[in-house]
Each structure stands twice: as structure tokens, then as C-alpha cells.
Amino acid sequence: MQAKLKNMGHSFAHPPSTKPKKKEKDATTRGISRAQFAFRSKSLYPERLHRQNIAERLIFESKVVFGTARLINQVLVFALFLSALRLSSNEARKRGIFNNLGETFGFDDLRAIHSRSHFVEETLPDLSEKSKSFFPLSSQYFDSGVHGSKLILGDLTVFTQPRPGPEMVLRSTEFSVTAWVRSIPQFAEGYILRKRPITDDEDLTCWGWYLHAQDGPSFIFAGHDHFPTGGDNSEQQIEAKLNFRSPFAPRRYFLLSIVVTETEVSFFQDNLLIGTYHLSRPVTDCFNNGQGVWLGDSGLEIGIVRYFPFKLTNSTLGELMVSGNLLSDIATGSNPSEQVDSELANVGRVITSEVLNIEKGLNRAHENEKLAAVLQQVDYADIEEFLNPGAAKYPNAKVGNNPFDNIERVDSNGREYYRLFEGPEILSETSDADARNMTMWPTFVGTGVTFTFWYRHVECDVASCGMFLFEAIDPGRPEAERKCWNFWIENNAIWYENSVIDEYPRDFVPRNFQIQGGKTWRHIAITLDETTDEFKYYMDGQHAYTGPWRGADNTGRTVRTSDCSGPNRFMTLGRSYPGYTYGLPVGLYDFRMYVHPRDAGNPLTPDEIRTIAQSPSESLDETDKCLRASDPAFFDQEWRDAFGHGCAWYKENRETNPSICRSPLAATNCPIACNTRQECLSTASYDSVFIYDRIRKIEVNSLVSNGTICLGDDEDPVEIIELCRQYVSGTEVNTDSKASQWFRAWRAGRHRSLDFRQCDDLERAIDPFCTYNGTVVKDWTHRVREGGGSYTIAFWIKPQGFGSLINQRFFPTLKFFGSVSPPQHNLNIGLFDNPNGEAQFFTSCGEGQFVMENVELKRADVEGWTFVAVTRSNVSNAVAARVMTNLGSWREGLNYQQCFYNEEKMFRALEFNYAVLISPILLSATMIPISKLQETYYAASGWMPQKTGPEASITEKVEDTGIPVEKKDYSEQSTLVAPPIIFQTIQRPTDQCDYSYSESFINLTHSRMRSLKCRSPFDCDSELLRDPSLVLSCPGKRQEEGMFFGQAPEDFGAIGYSDLLYSVTDNGFLWRNGELVQTAEFISSNTGTVDIIFVFYTPKYGITSVLSLMVDFTDPAGAKSDVMLQHYEVVEGSQLSVYLFVQIIVLVSIAIMVFDIVVNVKYLIASWSVDEVELTTKVGEAVKQLMDISIAVMVIVYIIIRIPTQLSSADDTRNIVGRLAEIPWADTTMSSDEKTESFFGLTRELLDLIDNEKRLNSFCNVVLVLSLLRLIKCTSMHPRLALLEGTVTKAWDDLWHAALLIVMLMGVFAGIATWRFGSEREDFSDFERSMQTQFEMTFGEFPDDWSSTRDLQVYTVFYFMLVFLLVQN
């Protein structure tokens, strides 16, 4: 029997033992034995045992026992292996990721892409937009609102005039603006982008980007807060431009950029710096009531205008050109927020602008009505009498030869002179017959001469009028020297001439001192200085000009030899000789000739000429002469006409309507506004300085509502506060008599004031951003002290809302502190005792007593600007002060000279108590006359209303530099690690096709194109004319070299071209290979396949996922698309430990399995030669062992490969995904090419890692299937478990033939369906798809429209009857 068992090939079926049984068995053992016999007889082998079946029973028991052990081990291997897989791969989590991404992107829709146009126009933009929601740092979740990066203008737009744009507010101290710009050849100049303040002056600009065709770009700003401190009032804004010409080439697109910081403006063309302008002050924004910006100008094409609240560099500008956005934004799925307003909003702005224009027109019409009313009141007879005093009573000057009376007279200086002409007379026109000449005047041969006279010019309708006042003629001289000398005079110039010299000096005195026609008599003196051979010219007793009398190298006559000496000499008066030429009817009076003492070298001195000019005139009233600036008659008065108009109104309207100033009352009360009085020439200097350079917005500190302190830039706030604490802690705080002056003023003030004894409040009140130039104050104070203590302080000030008012009135409040601790101010301006406020002067001269004197202010404007000037004379015998408010002023004689508390600096700190706009503060070391201050007022009053001031103070801006960002909740579980990649393969176009006629057809089409579309006057590209494949083509070989869209070939499983998806979808064009390329052409007719790759990471699961959309455009049936989601999971920590433990147990089980295999293989080899065993049994046993060996080897190989990958999974993720996330996209020192190359390289590494994971999973899948089959085979150890295995074994022959029949029939039907319906139906588009459809029909899933056509009905019914009914049954 043992031999028989061995022959059966059961290695574990050993014969029963032949040893005798023990006779001694206790009751327990007997009970157990009976139970075993019962189980074995009833369950394992239910047949009754007898002598014939005892061997089968023993064999069966052996098979069950060892088969059970083998089954348990196989189940253990399978279960533990699956457990290890479960530990290393959480399918529920992956399914969650799949569902999340599938729901967002619509995997079913992506798999249903059928056309190139649908993919390009709908799928790509949709994918791009949806994917951005997976960036946790996207601008969707970090919203910076209207103050962040903005897209101001989208697509390229041709401008014929400026257009309204969206509202913009500058919040950052640095910003950049970029725009694609192209101009036409006719373009001259215009704005690219401009923000205007709310003013009537359309030329003013808050800030604007300007382009000049020849000079290049410039930046214009500060129209709202610029204050011309250089003396040129025409400079109402600042233009930052290049110091060289940079012509802008037409017909070509450029990326123009402007980068503005606190200190400079940089101009870029493309990504190249073309120049930098250094700013003297920061750029501020203005409030324009939501009117937005204006874009473009005639002759410009502009597009993609972006604003960034930070500084761009060459590198980032290159990213904008090549990638269409900053790589740092692309890497986070961010875009500048689109601020392109709707058409309705733009129409609203246009309507608002037109309404404002209508209001301006109505205001102008109203002003014209006022002008007409004033002009109707003018009495022209009185006007003429007033404007030309004495003109009507002066007879015309005599004509003909007027012999000189030769009478010597003596003036108040004791100088002798001759009166050539008395007058006053008007030099009327003469003719040759009655030419006005003077004969036989005293000659000054051998000496020099001085001519003095009173002169009044004519009204001039042009810029300047002139005439020859006199010429000296000597007929006895040669023709070339006949004119001995002459003198010409005009509004802004003189001209003198002799035989050598021909001098014509112009504008040698300021415009306000030049001769003005028909208004005022001016005293003129001309000296020919024999001691220096110079020509000297005096006006109003002041020296005005000195010029040479002899030529270069001392050629020509000297002064002593210049005069005419012949007996027939004569002097023309009011004309040029001969005849009447170059003459004007000017007024002349008291024409004197001072012949200098011969051989004495004693010309008239400047003091003597000044005395002559200031001496009373018998026939001229003092009102007919010019006035000194300090003369009260030269001040404009606080007068109003019958219509309520003051001098400022007359000044504003005089230039366009000069007739309004012909009113005697207006001319008398407004001599400056109406320009009816002439200021005498003065050499007095009113030099002034400003302590800062622009209009400032002063905000009251929110922590200390009583005021704001501004310190000089040379003051240390820490030191100031430390001194305060020392002072307050000392005893002098209660005994300091000088500080008590501050205390009394502080207590008496009727406005808010800071308590300088509260050091904490003082510290909070110091505004570090309203500093002024302390060095200027120090130098000015030094000049004031050197000049005796006189000074002038002036400024413009404007309230900021109701918070700046006291009882609905505005009182300018400003205090000048010479010392902070102890508090000692030299000047206070505010509301104290006087109802309109006052200026208080304090002095440190009075020891031990309170010395304060004040001068009242006039009423200040509640809404507009108010001009305030404080001017003080500190001369001991004329101590006085005058305070000017707009045009009005008060003057007070004072009792005390002012001594500053701080002799080094008149003020170390300024205290503001209310929110105001304030101009730069003017400081002068002289007491400027009121007339000059009124001129200053008028010079600025026209444009100060246009100055709306900065939208935010520097303090507000600096405190608000952190642009507020609203963080929105990020609800997605997965995040994009890097921007998506779009990869395509390209088929080269060719006119060589597989079909001969196709080539002929392509060439025919190309010929027709040349004759129909490219004939004159149309001109096509030369490449298009040459290459037929550019019109129509067949697909050629795959392009694997060369550049495409500015990119080199990349390897992403195939050779093709990659780009950033957002660069293609978010931009209409990009700059590649030195030209603009349309992104719509990225996916072209030459595109073969497209892959879009998204790399996700799910932090809470540690899973890296790669989503790929694959679209094939080469399929004859149309585009084919598929979606694939692959994962790479991190295993670490306790999960990794358990995983390793389970795999070790699997290896132990495999070791047991290997032991079993070894035993069985040995027995199989030993029994192979036994003839009693059938060959099929041997082969079956060999196959079974071979399967066991394969499973064991494959499991061991998988575990050996898998464990290291799981051990390194965390490091691999950190290495690749971490480096992807850490690419320095914002690094300006790294080129965009380096960033993208690094990104593409890391992406390829990740794809390789996931491909390895995919291959391992495929290998593991084979192992599991084999293990499953082996597990099923192991169930044959018992008849009841061997149902499946036994059924398959017994029915194998029938199953094989049935399967063969079914496959054959379905193949035939699939071939028929593909041929008949594949051209129209997707479900039968190819053989494979037809087989899938028929497989579904096997389960009753027939096409919904199976009855739509007769052929489809026949096919479906026939398939149903033959396959579905007959074959299956």
C-alpha cells in the first residue's frame, strides 16, 4: 500500500504507523478519539469504512490535511500581500482625489473632445481657469482688491482719441506699468495712460505716462500737489524725462514699461533699460471722484496695459514678454485683477465728463455775463482822462530846427546841465520839410556826457514797440561816420550805436520793471563814461545796464572823441535820419544834457542820478510816475465793485478782457491786478527759500487728536522726547518764565493745542513723515539775524472737511517752536483773542516778563485755499508787523524787537492742530512789501484752486503700504504644485501626399491663391508665395528639431514642444524669437498630439497625483481624447513600520511555500520515471509547481523592489515635489529660461517616478492574478471546495468551443458594423469600439437609436437573434 501511495504522487501521504497501540487509555483520550473518528467519518470521508476503502480514506485524509496547510499558506500570502498593498496605497483616498478632480474638470466631457476648434476655443480656457482654483496662493484666495496688480486694458486697441478707463488708486510707494504699444508714422505725441485731477485745467495730470515720437517716453506727475518753488509759476507739474532723445520707431510693437520708486523713474523698452530720471520727491496720487484714468491718444495702438504695485526688473519684464505674465504669478495661478470696466461704466464716465464740461461752459457764460455788466458801467471819457493823465493838455513837440538856448542850469546835486527839451510833449510825426531837429547843442568832445529825461512809452499792440529817441548827425564827416551816435528805446530793450559799436541788449531788467506803454512816466538816464569808455543806462534812478562804447581790441572812437563837432551838426528827436522813420508819438519831459567837466574825469555818479530821478517835477504829478514797492498806493485794496467783484476777479479776467480795468475805481484800487501802476526799478532782493517741495496733506494723529508735530530732518525725535522727560521731571517746569509764555498762550487759545508737558502725547504726535529741511531753516535764521531780525513767512493753507473747522469757520493754525522742551514758540498763528484769528509774536528779550504782541488776520476761506503771510520789520526805530490773509492785511506798529528763543534755528518744530493741506512754507530774511506778497498771491491764485493735494498723506501712505489682502477659504483637498504644462507633437506640413492627385490639388490651390488673393494691389508674404504647404498640406514627418513658438524640443515620452498652459490661454500674443506671435496659433493644423499635464499634491494624504489630458488629432475619425490620473503615495512613520512588518510575514509565508515547492519538486523528479503515474498527471503537477515557483519568485522580486521605493517615498516626494514647489519663480537674478528648464526637468523626473510606480503596479497586478489562480487551484483539496475548479475542468472542452464560436460571430458582426456605420457613429467608429458596443449589447444595452435607420435595424435584430438569443442559450 505504501508503494501505491507513492505511485499516486502524494508526497505528504505517508502510510499509517505499524507500531502497536498503547492499551492504557484514560476516559478523556477515548472520548477525543471517538470525536475524531466521528468527524473523519461524517465530514471528511462520509462513506462507511471497510477493508476495500481504507486506503482511499488514508490517501484522502493526507490530501486534505496537507492541501489545507497549502491553502492556508496561500491565503495567508495573498491576504498579507493585499494588506501590504493596502498599507502602501489607500484607494479610498485616491478615489476621493479622482472624484474631486473629475467633478471639477469634468473627465467625461474631456473624454468627449471631438474637434480641434472645440479643444482650442473652449476646453483649453476652461481647463486653465478651473485649474487656478487648485493653487492655494492664487489671487482667487488672496484678493488684494483695487490696490493690487491690475489689467487696465486687455486686447490691442487702436485709439483715435483718449478713452476713459477704470478707476485706479496708488497705494504703494513703488509701482510699475507696462503696455504693448505701436504707433503710426503720423503720431507726434500723446499719453499712454493718464490720471487727471478734478480741475478746470485739462493739462494738469496727477500722474501720467507720456510718449513723444522724437523724445521718447516721459512721466508727468504732481499736477495736483506740485508747488513751483523755483520761481517759474508756469511749471504746474513735473515731467520726468530722459536727458537725451530716444525716438520711438513706428509700425512696430514694443513692450514699454515705466518703473516708479520713491527716488527715480526708470523707462524700459522691451526688457532693456533706456534711461532713468532721478526724482526730487515721491510720486503721490490724487482723488478724482472715481473718474478713473484715461487711456491712449490718436495714432497709438495699445494693449495689455498692466499695473503692478511693486518694482519690476529687466528679468521680470522679460518674463512678461515671453510668458505673458510674471512667472511668480503663473506659478501660483494668479493674474492681475481685470479692472477693465464695462461699457456702461465707461459711458457713465464719458457722460460725467460731458456734464462737467457743460457746467464749465455755463460757468464761463455766467462769467461773461459778469464781464458784460462791468463793461457797461465803464465811462470811457473818464477812462481816457484817468489812463492818460495830462496827455490831452500836452501839445505836440515843435517841429523844424530848434536851436539850443545854451543856458546852463544847476540841479540839486550842484551839477550844471543844459535843458535840450522841456515839455512835457508828445513827439508827433514829422516830415522831411519840417523835420524835428535840435541844432548847436553843447559838444562833449574831450569829455563825457549824461542825458536825463522823463519818458512815457506808447501803447503797443504787439509784443514790443521801439523808436529812435535821438541821433547825432555831423554832415561834415565821411559817410561811414556821419552818424556820431544814436539811441533806440523799446519796451524790453535799448539799442545804442556809434561808428563801431552796435549793441542791442534785451530783457536786461525783469519784466515787471520794463517800460510799459501809455501808463507811467519813467526817468531815464544815459551816461557815456569817459573814464571807462562805457555806455551806462539808468531807469528810475537805478543802474540798469552797462555796455562797451568801443569795439573789440579798443577799436573805434573813445567817448571823448565820439561827439559831433562840426558847425552843421544836429540831433534828431523822435525819429531816424533822414525823414521820419522809426518814430513813435512818445512822451518826453525835462530832457537834460550834463556835459562832464573837461579833463576832470567826473561823470555823474549813481547817487546823483538817483537824486535827479527822485526830485519833484514841476509839470508831473507823483501819481504819474512809477511807484516803489513799499508805497501803500501800490497795494491792491480790499475793494469790491458794484457787482461784488474784488481785485482778484479783475486780475483773473484782465488778460482775456483788458477793458474791464479801464474803470477808474478798478484801476485805482487794484493797481497790481489791473497793472495800472508801474513799479520803479529796484535792486532790492527778496530772496526766499522753501522748507519742503510740495503741497502736503497734514493729518491729525489719531492717537493724539489735538495736533501733529513736524520736526526738521536734522532733529532726533528720541532726543526731543528724552529732553521732554528731563524737563518735566525737573523743577524748572514750574519756574521757567519763558516757558510760561507758551503756557499762557496755550491756555488762552480757542483752538485745539498739544500740551507739551505730556511727553507721551508729544511722542505720539510727532509725525516722522512730515519733516522739513532743517538746514534751510538754520541758514535762513542766520541771515535773519545778520539782517537785523526782519523776516517774512508765507504759505497757502486749506481745510480738510468739517473736522478742520471751528464753529463752521476755518482759522489757520500753525505754531513755530524754537524749543520743544521747554516749550517756547517764536510765532503762533491761530484763534486767540481776535475774531478772525491772529499772529502772535514772542520774544526772549524781555527777561522775567510776558512779552507777546499780535496782529489780527483777515477772514479765511472755509472751502478753498487761503494765502497767509506774516512779515515783520525788526529795525529798532521801525518795529512793525503786517499779516496778510489773501489780499487783505493788517499792519501794527510794535513795541518790542523780537529775539528768537533759539538763535540757531527760529523753529525746531511745527505744530498743526487740524487736518489741512498746506503749500511749501516760504521763508525770506527781509520784510517783503505787501505789493510783492500780493504779486505772489496773484501768481498762484490762478492755479492754486486746481491743486487738490495728495489723495493720502505720506504718513497714511507709509502706514498703508501693506496693501490689504483678503484671504479666502481654500476648500480643495489637492493643490497644484506647479503651473500646468501643455506639450504637443508637430507634424511637418508637406505638399507630398500619399495620393498623387492630392499633390496636384495642393499645387493648383496654391496657384489659384497667387492669382486670386495675392495679385496687385494685394501683397502676400514671400514665404507664402513660395511654399504651397502653407496654404494646404498633408501631414509629414514629426518635427523633432528646430524651434517652434520660441521653444526648443522637449522629451515628455515623445519629442515635441512644451509651454506653460497659462502663457498660451491667458494671453492673446507673446514675444518669441524677436516678434509677436499669436497664442491662437500654438495649436495649429500641424499639431499631432497634445498632452496637458497637471501635478497635484494632497497634503493630508501625502499623495502626489499627475493628471494628464491626452488629445490625438491624427486620428482619421477626428480628435480622440483620454484622461489619466496617476498617483505616487508617501509611506512613512507607523504606517511604514506596519508595512515592513507585514511584508516580512509575507516573506516568511513565501519561505514556507518555497519549502513546500522544494519537497514537491524533489518528489516530482523522483516519481517522473514511475510508469504507473499518467503523463498528464505529471505535467499537471509540474505546471502547478512551476506556477508556485513563479508566484514565489515574483512576490520576492516585487517586495525586494518595493521596499526600497517605499522607504524612499518621502524623500523622493520631498526631492521632486519639494523642488518643484521651491523653484525661485520670483528670483530676479535667475533668467526665465533657467526657471522653465528647471521646472520641465523636475516634471520629467516626477513623470519617470510615476511611470516606475505604474510599471510596479502592473507587475503586482500579474502577481495577484497568478496568486488568485493558484488560490483557486488550491481549493481542489476537498470535493466540496473544488466546485469551481472541477466545473471548469470538466467543461473546458465545451467552453473553449463556445468561446471560439462567440468570438468568431462577434468579430464578423463587428467588421460589418464598422464598415457600415463607422463613418457616422462613434460607437462603431473602429473594430475595437464595435466589439465593446457588441459586448454591451450582450447584456441588453442596445443603442438608444438602433431603429433610426433601416440598416441599423437589420443589423441589431440579426445580432439579437443570432448572438443574444441562440448562442448564449
User: Is pLDDT above 80 for 621?
Assistant: yes
User: Is pLDDT above 50 for 492?
Assistant: yes
The string of DSSP codes covering 105-147 is HTHHHHTT---HHHIIIIIHHHHHHHHGGG-TTSTTTEE-GGG
Most distant pair of Cα atoms in the chain: their distance: 188
User: Is pLDDT above 80 for 383?
Assistant: no
Confidence at residue 349, expressed as pLDDT on a 0 to 100 scale:
55
pLDDT tens-digit series, residues 173-227: 899 999 999 999 999 999 999 999 888 778 899 999 999 999 999 999 999 999 9
pLDDT tens-digit series, residues 1195-1241: 888 888 888 888 888 888 888 888 888 888 888 778 778 888 888 88
- Which distant-in-sequence residues (6+ apart) come within 8 Å of 532 by Cβ? none
Q: How many CA atoms lie within 13 A of 943 on its CB side?
A: 22
Share above pLDDT 90 across residues of the chain, in percent, rounded to a whole number: 33
Confidence at residue 23, expressed as pLDDT on a 0 to 100 scale:
44
Confidence of residue 869 (pLDDT cuts 50, 70, 90): very high
Contact 642, 377 (CB under 8 A): yes
- Long-range pairs of 622-626 with CB within 8 A, sequence gap ≥ 24: 623/389, 624/389, 624/390, 624/520, 624/521, 625/520, 625/521, 625/522, 625/523, 625/680, 626/520, 626/521, 626/522, 626/540, 626/677, 626/678, 626/679, 626/680, 626/681
Confidence of residue 4 (pLDDT cuts 50, 70, 90): very low
Confidence at residue 396, expressed as pLDDT on a 0 to 100 scale:
67
Choice among 65-69, 570-574, 643-647, 841-845 with the minimum mean pLDDT: 65-69
Confidence at residue 1203, expressed as pLDDT on a 0 to 100 scale:
86
Contact 832, 948 (CB under 8 A): no
Confidence at residue 1249, expressed as pLDDT on a 0 to 100 scale:
85
DSSP strand E in 58-206: where? 142-143, 150-153, 157-159, 163-164, 175-183, 189-195
Query: Whole-angstrom Cα distance, residue 423 to residue 521?
Result: 13
Confidence of residue 359 (pLDDT cuts 50, 70, 90): low
Choice among 464-473, 571-580, 713-722 with the minimum mean pLDDT: 571-580
Phi, psi of 330 (to 5 degrees): -60, -40
pLDDT tens-digit series, residues 1294-1351: 777 788 888 888 888 888 888 888 877 888 888 888 888 888 888 778 888 888 888 8
pLDDT tens-digit series, residues 676-713: 888 899 888 888 999 998 999 998 876 777 889 999 99
Containing 830, the helix (H) or strand (E) segment is: strand 824-830
pLDDT tens-digit series, residues 568-604: 888 888 888 887 888 888 999 999 999 999 877 889 9
For the segment 1279-1294, the average pLDDT, to the nearest whole number, is 72
Confidence at residue 1031, expressed as pLDDT on a 0 to 100 scale:
86
Share above pLDDT 70 across residues of the chain, in percent, rounded to a whole number: 87
CA distances to 70, 146, 207, 489, 1002 from 192, rounded to whole Å, are 85, 20, 11, 49, 46
- Which distant-in-sequence residues (6+ apart) come within 8 Å of 965 by Cβ? 142, 143, 144, 148
User: Is pLDDT above 80 for 358?
Assistant: no
Residue type, 363: N
Q: Which residue has the higher pLDDT, 739 or 877?
A: 877
Query: Whole-angstrom Cα distance, residue 844 to residue 867?
Result: 28
Confidence at residue 12, expressed as pLDDT on a 0 to 100 scale:
36
Confidence of residue 400 (pLDDT cuts 50, 70, 90): low
pTM of the predicted structure, to 2 decimals: 0.79
pLDDT tens-digit series, residues 1083-1099: 988 888 999 999 999 99
Confidence at residue 362, expressed as pLDDT on a 0 to 100 scale:
60
Confidence of residue 971 (pLDDT cuts 50, 70, 90): confident
pLDDT tens-digit series, residues 910-958: 999 999 999 999 999 999 999 999 999 998 988 899 899 998 776 665 5
For the segment 294-302, the average pLDDT, to the nearest whole number, is 94
In three-state secondary structure terms, 778 is helix
Which is it for strands 1034-1038 and 981-990: parallel, antiparallel or unpaired? antiparallel
Please give, one letter per residue, the 3-state secondary structure of 1111-1155.
Answer: EECCCCCCCEEEEEEEEEECCCHHHHHHHHHHHHHHHHHHHHHHH
Query: Whole-angstrom Cα distance, residue 815 to residue 709?
Result: 10
Confidence of residue 82 (pLDDT cuts 50, 70, 90): confident
The string of DSSP codes covering 975-1038 is EESS--EEEEEEEEEES--SSHHHHHHHHHHHHHHHHHTSSTT----HHHHH-GGGTS-EEEEE
Phi-psi region of 837 (alpha: psi -120 to 50; beta: other; left: phi over 0): left
Query: Whole-angstrom Cα distance, residue 1363 to residue 1340?
Result: 11
- Which distant-in-sequence residues (6+ apart) come within 8 Å of 345 by Cβ? 166
Cα–chain center distance at 281: 18
Confidence of residue 52 (pLDDT cuts 50, 70, 90): low
Q: Which residue has the cell 517759474?
A: 232
Query: Whole-angstrom Cα distance, residue 510 to residue 872?
Result: 26
Confidence at residue 384, expressed as pLDDT on a 0 to 100 scale:
47
Tell me how crowded residue 185 is: count the other CB atoms within 10 A of its CB. Answer: 9
Confidence at residue 25, expressed as pLDDT on a 0 to 100 scale:
46
The C-alpha cell at 72 is: 492556508
Which is it for strands 437-439 and 401-403: parallel, antiparallel or unpaired? parallel
* Among 283, 310, 148, CA closest to 225: 283
